[in-house]
Structure 1
């Protein structure tokens, strides 16, 4: 596979400044959000258009073309907007795009994703692959400390709009000020939030031998999601239940049941909630950065997996989401700010059965993936790339048919049970 790499810099010079990342940015995983968008056709000048439109886009997002600085002593992170550039890798493949159908996650070659170079800490990396039958793949990788999923997809949609139409009219104007969530704005409650704990990263240990994990994609149609929502709401305590609440409840309940955990064990569900419109004043939809705040539903396994567990779980999820408000967000920011060494901050919901716990994690990528139209056409597929086969992790995606795809990782014996769970499979297709 032939390849060339160049650095794409902003079309006009950026204002040179050092941006201190927010408290919310700092506690995000130091990983890359990676995905690849596949298109059936590409114009002859597709590579040139992608490069020039990216250069134009970087004028509105200078932070992703800068240089990251990670303080190894206290965990603080900053970015210098020095127009270092974005690595733009172009590869020519002898494969056909047709050969990748039906675009199963586990069958997407890793070399269609961006190649990580953590030592250089690029905020953003891009890889373009052209296929023998005229198809093209656009792969993106953005450092999570720079932006959450909402912001990553907002950036890519902005770039795609400039590429296909020459402008980004109608899309939110990027907001880059991290001080919107100033933790010192006023006196705050600095009690430790339940979703975080303090650990010494030097002494964190895991079992030396871990069971194998298997990951599988499940599809939920629009019709089955409607049935699921109705069933979850049927025994609700009167609280509003969204489709996402119901789907999250089903996944949590059935996966914990598949783990076969003692009934008196407390099960936690970790997931992120977008806080952009929950602050006073709102951060705004265009806020570029992380605004990920973590509700923490907790239920005994007996209640979660019992006869009315679907409704109980959906109610609990909605109740915890409703706790994410301006006070919660600012109190959490103030607590993070108060911790001298941010490297000691971690989450309380990451101990799956594989490492002796009962915690499950959900991440939702429902950001209108199929609205990314670089070449004036709808993508054939959008796929996350990278390590997804973690025990106790489910990733929720938009599906091409308007439904939802869910990629779930469980220890192998538990995945066998999930695939035979009558409640779970009656909603999948």
Structure 2
């Protein structure tokens, strides 16, 4: 069955040519349908609503060297295991829908059946070029995942694309952030891996997820939800305004992408460097997240034009998981909806770029993470990123527990990338392919990336997998 809206979005030009250097062509578009019917709508929580207007879903590309399985058989195997995984993740097969009677948004399951679009495509792009690239071809990456974005609801929650390349296969996944955070996506990928490799029926199966939004209720949550929707989506069912052309700023200084690999040795070196910069009486070995985030914050400040010349704050924004504060075991481990909130902390640009910049960044971020974990909802109304500070904000997020363990029945991927990052100064962290390593996927303006690259590189860090 052909899903024409997704196909048009993927291939707007006749013949499927999307990229001036490469051709993409759709072979087939079908639906992976849930056998269950009459599923009740799932109203969004306040945590979900924060992402309704997000321009960028959770979109990943997984690059696999040529598997031994023929492509048609591989695609059928993927659809079969995806159907199994969706049975316990039915919200991923729904549609985001505006309910005019209550002026709210819910995950709704159409009467014709909840489903996920599955696209089979091919491209003349060589896998080796994607694997070896240090500065990524962002346009090519975007064509390797389905575009599920809609300006007006309803909108699909998830879609999957498998693309045959020269020398390999790419699996692209797009999941609307409104329905799940990194924790929920991690759980889904584990479930899909178990289904694909035959582990779902083992003696230690992947635990079933929970989707009940009542699990993330808190005092004042309904008003918080309404306030979020009023602020970000005042014209529902429209969730975002049309964007026909790049802005003048985007044309003059586009965003570019690079991926940095922190080996286990590099992380040890970075943590020792952090310890050497701090007061001996206050020395604590920083977590991997704090070590990379503080290092990135300082590198961003040094790379950003104007940040070192004044005392205006340069902010770092990170996501705090609220599950431990709102739930107890085992619910906090298996809740698959959103349960994260933004936390922001700033230092003067001159402080971050000065001789004590690393020590200040480390101590400030360490205290902020500690405070956020103790009371993640304390500043729930302050997660909004003000537009006039956009060029002075560095966003750090990620899925540190899951990356290259994904196995969809034909081995582990050789490389993982976000197809697109949602902010123009952002780092997204995932566990690396080698034990103890971390990959930092970075988006930065073309103007600032060279200086950021120079500041961010430490011993044992390299700019490609």
Question: Structure 1-normalised TM-score?
Answer: 0.82
Secondary structure, aligned partner of 1:413: coil
1:373 to 394, 403, 407: 407
Match of 1:228 in 2: 270
CA distances 1:4-63 after superposition (whole Å, capped 9, x unpaired): 1111112x3145201111100101253311111122215243222211221122111111
Distance 1:53 1:412, change over 3 A: closer
**Which residue of 18, 32, 45 corresponds with 2:57?**
32
Given candidates 380, 386, 399, the residue that maps to 2:432 is: 399
1:218 partner SS: strand
Aligned residue number for residue 324 of structure 2? 277
Number of residue pairs matched? 404
Matching of residue 78 in structure 1 with residue 133 in structure 2: no
> Cα offset for 1:385?
0.5
Aligned to 2:293: 248
Distance between the aligned counterparts of 1:127 and 1:303, measured in 2? 46
In structure 1, runs of 5+ residues without a counterpart are 336-344
Q: Could you say what secondary structure the match of 1:296 adopts?
A: strand
- Cα distance, 1:220 vs structure 2: 2.1
1:130/1:137 contact within 8 Å kept: yes
Q: Secondary structure at the match of 1:369?
A: coil
- Looking at structure 2, the residues matched to 176 and 231 of structure 1 have their Cα atoms a distance apart, in angstroms, of 42
Among 192, 200, 219, the residue aligned to 2:261: 219
Structure 1 residue aligned with 2:5: none
Specify the SS of the correspondent of 2:404.
helix
The separation in 1 between residues aligned to 2:294 and 2:147, in whole angstroms, is 35
Q: 1:197 to 1:358 in 2, by over 3 A?
A: farther
The answer to whether the Cα contact below 8 Å between 1:221 and 1:428 also exists between their aligned partners in 2 is yes
Please name the residue that 2:69 is paired with. Answer: 43
The structure-2 alpha-carbon separation of the partners of 1:321 and 1:426, relative to structure 1 and needing over 3 Å to count, comes to same
Please state how far the C-alpha of 1:277 moved relative to its aligned partner.
2.7
Distance of 2:294 and 2:230 partners within structure 1: 25
Q: What is the aligned partner in structure 1 of residue 238 from structure 2?
A: none
Offset at 1:425? 4.4
**1:230 Cα deviation (Å)?**
1.8
Change (3 A) 1:16 1:257: same
- Summarize the Cα distance change of 1:124–1:394 in structure 2 as closer, same or farther, 3 Å threshold: same
What are the within-5 Å matches in structure 2 for residues 1-400 of structure 1?
A: 1-10=25-34, 12-28=35-51, 29-30=53-54, 31-40=56-65, 41-44=67-70, 45-70=73-98, 76-82=104-110, 83-102=113-132, 104=134, 106-107=136-137, 109=140, 110-118=142-150, 120-133=154-167, 135-165=168-198, 167=200, 169-184=204-219, 209=249, 211-213=252-254, 214-234=256-276, 235=278, 237-239=282-284, 241-259=286-304, 260-261=306-307, 262-281=309-328, 283-325=331-373, 327-329=375-377, 347-348=384-385, 351=388, 357-386=391-420, 390-400=423-433
1:199 and 1:9 map into 2 onto residues whose CA distance is 32
In the superposition, the TM-score normalised over structure 2's length comes to: 0.76
For residue 332 of structure 2, give the secondary structure of its aligned residue in structure 1: coil
- 1:413–1:386: structure 2 CA closer, same or farther, 3 Å change rule? closer
Which segment drifts farther, 149-158 or 394-403? Answer: 394-403
TM-superposed CA distance for 1:320, in Å, is: 1.4
Q: How has the CA–CA distance of structure 1 residues 79 and 413 changed in structure 2, closer, same or farther, with 3 Å as cutoff?
A: closer
Does the CA contact (< 8 Å) of 1:250 and 1:310 recur in 2? yes
Q: What secondary structure is seen at the aligned counterpart in 1 of 2:209?
A: coil
Kindly tell me: are residues 54 and 315 of structure 1, through their superposed partners in 2, closer, same or farther at Cα, counting changes over 3 Å? same
Q: Which runs of 5+ in 2 are unaligned?
A: 1-24, 236-240
Q: CA deviation at 1:427?
A: 5.8
Q: 1:324 to 1:419 in 2, by over 3 A?
A: closer
Is 1:365–1:397's contact at 8 Å kept on the other side of the alignment?
yes
Contact 2:421–2:443 (Cα < 8 Å) also in 1: no
1:284-343 C-alpha deviation (Å, 9 max, x unpaired): 2211111112222221222222222212212221211222347543x667x6xxxxxxxx
User: In the alignment, is the contact (CA less than 8 A) between 1:91 and 1:127 conserved in 2?
Assistant: yes
Q: Do the aligned partners of residues 298 and 198 (structure 1) sit closer, same or farther apart at CA in structure 2, a change above 3 Å counting?
A: farther
Rounded to whole Å, the distance in 1 between the matches of 2:99 and 2:356 is 48
Please give the alpha-carbon distance, in whole angstroms, between the structure 1 residues aligned to 2:214 and 2:224. Answer: 21
Residue 209 and residue 373 in structure 1: after superposition, are their counterparts in 2 closer, same or farther (change >3 A)?
A: closer
Once the two structures are TM-superposed, the CA of residue 142 in structure 1 deviates from its matched residue by 0.4
